[in-house]
């Protein structure tokens, strides 16, 4: 037999990440195609990284939760062609509901780690104006008839109410306070200019209003008060605890990120914003899907040989405030810990489903940039139908002692 030829495992680095401003569903992007939003972020991330020859990209993965219409037709391939990438660059689509972009990143990174790829382009998009959550789905009747899942598992707001039920210490007052903090931190981040560098301006057109230019997120409400939050309706349950104020809004947007092996990044002179340490996904009961980040984080930490005390920064997707609070309580972290979502989160800027995973990563890269003494950070999110996803990252420019 001949010698076995293989390639050594490679380190994966996050080179760069960008996103469109997120728009409220039914507003600025209502007449903009989802694939055109992906084209915008692809072109921008390549423009920002001129040292990357497009033909060196080994694969493209784009996530969308509702894969029909302008979010269908293997959008990873079609958006690549529309963006002007060489026809030699392949592409595919990903669906893991809210963690679509996160899964695009971890799947492509796995190929880089294995030595099959050197450079990859990940993306995520959701135009909820054009494709409301659940459009076109046909759940198998067995889910309900055989009680495989509670019917409430198919309603994300109800799963958040269920989380309040399961953990009575996660009160509405705590959820509102966390939501208020998200709005305040987002306003501060905008005032300091932390968010704007990674936003791609998008020209939009309305048949009624004409042309416009999206340069900032539409959803933030910096004038939010605790009194205002306390008076909001609870749409998922009478006298409930989940409101529009302590949840992420329905939003449209797209994200993109360049990933590379560390050796290739060095060869081409690409930036290295953070290094992937490891990742994990885990399943939980679908009717309390918001607790998913707890087991996925425990799993990722165990595999990396780290503990929660090693993590210096947390970017947790704020699908619902109660979901973040469940995570923080489990790990003994204070509701207002400054390491958690320093630039605010989805309660303020929105959560365009499949695109949000890369938004979390771009935020973490900026967090690392501002805090060179932070060595490890995580991006984590709950996922519909009862899952959680966690990626652990290391600050490439860590300046502390080992």
**Angstrom distance (rounded) from CA 128 to CA 140:** 23
**Angstrom distance (rounded) from CA 335 to CA 181:** 10
Question: Cβ–Cβ contacts within 10 Å for residue 139, how many?
Answer: 13
Give the end-to-end CA distance of the chain in Å, rounded to a whole number: 45
Token pair, residue 41, equals: 């972020």
Per-position b or e across 362-387, b if 16+ CB within 10 A of its CB: bbbbbbbeebeebbbbbbbbbbbbbb
Which segments of 168-233 does DSSP mark as H helices, in order? Answer: 172-192, 226-230
**Angstrom distance (rounded) from CA 348 to CA 345:** 6
**Angstrom distance (rounded) from CA 79 to CA 62:** 8
Token pair, residue 384, equals: 């519909």
Residue 246 exposure: Cα atoms within 13 Å on the Cβ side: 33
Active-site residues: which are they? Answer: 98, 351, 382
Q: Which helix (H) or strand (E) holds 39?
A: helix 34-47
Radius of gyration of the chain (CA): 20
**Angstrom distance (rounded) from CA 181 to CA 343:** 10
Give the CA distances from residue 341 to residues 136, 174, 183, 393, in Å, rounded to whole numbers and listed in that order. 34, 16, 11, 15
Give the CA distances from residue 37 to residues 33, 216, 387, in Å, rounded to whole numbers and listed in that order. 7, 15, 27
What is the three-class DSSP state of 42?
Answer: helix
């Amino acid at each position: 037999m001949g010698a076995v030829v293989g390639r050594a495992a490679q380190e994966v680095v996050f080179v760069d990440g960008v996103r469109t401003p997120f728009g409220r569903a039914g507003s600025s992007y209502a007449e903009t195609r989802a694939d055109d939003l992906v084209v915008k972020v692809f072109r921008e991330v390549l423009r920002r990284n001129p040292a990357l020859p497009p033909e060196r990209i080994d694969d493209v993965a784009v996530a969308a939760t509702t894969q029909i219409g302008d979010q269908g037709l293997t959008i990873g391939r079609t958006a690549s062609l529309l963006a002007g990438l060489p026809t030699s660059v392949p592409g595919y689509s990903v669906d893991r509901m809210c963690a679509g972009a996160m899964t695009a990143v971890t799947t492509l990174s796995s190929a880089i780690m294995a030595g099959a790829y050197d450079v990859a382009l990940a993306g995520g998009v959701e135009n909820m104006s054009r494709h409301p959550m659940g459009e076109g789905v046909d759940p198998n009747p067995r889910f309900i008839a055989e009680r495989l899942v509670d019917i409430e598992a198919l309603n994300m707001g109800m799963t958040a109410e269920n989380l309040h039920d399961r953990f009575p210490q996660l009160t509405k007052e705590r959820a509102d306070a966390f939501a208020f903090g998200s709005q305040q931190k987002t306003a501060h981040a905008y005032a300091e200019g932390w968010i704007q560098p990674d936003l791609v301006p998008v020209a939009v057109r309305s048949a009624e209003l004409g042309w416009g230019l999206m340069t900032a997120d539409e959803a933030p409400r910096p004038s939010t008060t605790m009194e205002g939050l306390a008076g909001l309706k609870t749409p998922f349950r009478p006298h409930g605890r989940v409101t529009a104020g302590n949840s992420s809004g329905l939003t449209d947007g797209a994200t993109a990120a360049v990933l590379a092996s560390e050796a290739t990044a060095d060869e081409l002179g690409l930036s290295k914003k953070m290094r992937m340490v490891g990742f994990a996904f885990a399943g939980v009961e679908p009717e309390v899907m918001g607790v998913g980040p707890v087991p996925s984080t425990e799993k990722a930490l165990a595999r990396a040989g780290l503990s929660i005390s090693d993590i210096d920064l947390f970017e947790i997707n704020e699908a619902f405030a109660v979901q973040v609070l469940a995570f923080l309580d489990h790990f003994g972290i204070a509701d207002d810990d400054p390491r958690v979502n320093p630039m605010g989160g989805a309660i303020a800027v929105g959560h365009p489903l499949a695109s949000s995973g890369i938004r979390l990563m771009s935020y973490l890269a900026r967090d690392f940039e501002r805090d060179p003494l932070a060595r490890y950070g995580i991006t984590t999110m709950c996922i519909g139908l009862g899952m959680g996803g966690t990626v652990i990252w290391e600050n490439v420019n860590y300046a502390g002692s080992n």
